[in-house]
Structures are given as structure tokens and as C-alpha cells.
Amino acid sequence: MKNKIILILLSFSIFVLVSIIGASADDNVKYSSSINFYGEKTDVYMGEEIIARLSIVNLVSNPKMYAQIIILPSSGMSVTSAEFTKTSAGQFAANFEIGPEEGGRNILIIMRPNQVGEFNIKGRVVYYFGEDKENMQDYALDLPVTVRRPTVLTDSKIKDPQQDEVKKGMMGFEIILIGVGMIAIILVISVIMIYMLKR
């Protein structure tokens, strides 16, 4: 009887120990994600649009993710359009719940530069998994952008369609004048020759 009690107590102790080790192992698991801050074109001329996209993907091995994505446009730029975001004083953000089978989420803003120079568009991603807010992860991202002044043609290289039409008209008129002059010369020579033959 005593042996059975000892075996039961030993089995229970082992079960408790395994459970504690398993829980500790679960607590030490660190989940990760895939984050991308992407600019379709980062070297532009004044007047061109700048498209910035910030995305996050929850990997299939993770539990549900709770994420906040933020893009902060640089000074000297005007935001002309935004997708999947809420605006707050120049910050464009969105909150997402992303299951492991749902892939990812993204936000997008389109900007137009108001001046030339070097700029830095900032991004930020904050997320945690399940109920584990204590292990929240926070990433700051940068997207450098260069804005250049458009190339200006010199006066000699600028083509004016109206001037081209005028030049073509003048050339045609000159050809007509040359033709009339040649006919007149031929007529005069012919009259002289006829007059000389009659004498």
C-alpha cells in the first residue's frame, strides 16, 4: 500500500515538474515577423510622386498578432493620397489583428515633394502576440528619399511648334519665288532669242 502511495506521489511530482518545465519553455518562446518599408521610387524629380508602403506579415508558426503600423511623412512633402490608414496630425496609422493563416497587412501613402533635397520618411511598427503585451516589440524604420530639380533646356534647345510651322511656310514661299524667278529668266531669254532671229 505504501509503495502504491509512493508511486502515485512520484508520478504526480513528475507531472507537475514536466508541466512547469513546459510552461517555462512556452514563456521563453520568441515569435518573430516579417516587416518591410518599401518605396517604389526613392530618387525623384520635383513634381514626381513618392509612394511609400509599410507592411508586416505574421508567420504561420505564430499565434495571433496585434500590430500597429505608422508612417510619418517628411517635412517638405504634401500627402496626396493614403490607403488603409487613419490620419492624426501628419501621422498615418492603422491597427490590425493578424492570424497566422491570414498573411499580412500594409498601409500606403502617396506624397509629392515641395522642395528639392534629401528627405527621410519614417515608419514604426509595434506588435505583440496573443495576450503577451509584456514582450511587445517596437521597430523604427527609415526610408531615405532624394528629390532633384528638373533638368531645364536652354533657349537654343527649346522647340517651339509654332516657330517650326513658320519656318516650313517660309521655306515653301522661297521655293515658289525661286521657281517664278527661273521661269521669268527663261521667258526673257526666249524673247531675246526670238527677237535676234527675226533680225
Asked if the structure places residue 118 within a domain, the reply is yes
pLDDT reading at 70 higher than 50: yes
| Pair 35, 105 in one domain | yes
Question: Residue 146 in contact with residue 123, Cβ under 8 Å?
Answer: no
Asked if the structure places residue 12 within a domain, the reply is no
- Residue 178's pLDDT is 85
Q: Average pLDDT of 59-76?
A: 94
Q: Average pLDDT of 114-124?
A: 96
- Residue 10's pLDDT is 42
CATH at residue 36: 2.60.40.10
- Residue 17's pLDDT is 38
| Pair 124, 179 in one domain | no
Min mean pLDDT across 55-64, 114-123, 165-174 is at 165-174
| Pair 137, 181 in one domain | no
Asked if the structure places residue 109 within a domain, the reply is yes
pLDDT reading at 132 higher than 60: yes
Min mean pLDDT across 25-29, 58-62, 140-144 is at 25-29
| Pair 134, 175 in one domain | no
| Pair 180, 144 in one domain | no
pLDDT reading at 61 higher than 60: yes
| Pair 190, 138 in one domain | no
Please state the pTM of the whole predicted model.
0.61
Q: Which residues pair with 121 in a beta bridge?
A: 143
pLDDT, greater one: 166 or 91: 91
- Residue 157's pLDDT is 47
| Pair 139, 180 in one domain | no
Asked if the structure places residue 92 within a domain, the reply is yes
Domain count, the chain: 2
- Which residues are within 8 A (CB) of 138 and not within 5 positions of it... i.e. 6 or more apart? 124, 125, 126
| Pair 140, 175 in one domain | no
Asked if the structure places residue 1 within a domain, the reply is no
Write out the residue range of the structural domain in which residue 190 sits: 171-199
Asked if the structure places residue 61 within a domain, the reply is yes
| Pair 78, 110 in one domain | yes
Q: Tens digit of pLDDT for each residue in 9-58? A: 444 444 433 343 344 444 556 788 999 999 999 999 999 999 999 999 99
- Work out the widest C-alpha separation in the chain, in whole angstroms: 165
With helix as H, strand as E and coil as C, how does the chain read?
Answer: CHHHHHHHHHHHHHHHHHHHHHHHHHHHCCCCEEEEEEECCCEEECCCCEEEEEEEEECCCCCCEEEEEEEECCCCEEEEEEECCEEECCEEEEEEEECCCCCEEEEEEEEEECCCEEEEEEEEEEEEECCCHHHCEEEEEEEEEEEECCCCCCCCCCCCHHHHHHHHHHHHHHHHHHHHHHHHHHHHHHHHHHHHHHC
Question: Residue 35 in contact with residue 141, Cβ under 8 Å?
Answer: yes
Asked if the structure places residue 19 within a domain, the reply is no
pLDDT band for position 171 (cuts 50, 70, 90):
confident
What is the rounded CA–CA span in Å between residue 168 and residue 71? 55
Asked if the structure places residue 17 within a domain, the reply is no
pLDDT reading at 174 higher than 70: yes
| Pair 65, 140 in one domain | yes
| Pair 140, 184 in one domain | no
Q: Which of 148, 163, 188 finishes a domain?
A: 148
Cell numbers standing for residue 79 = 500627402
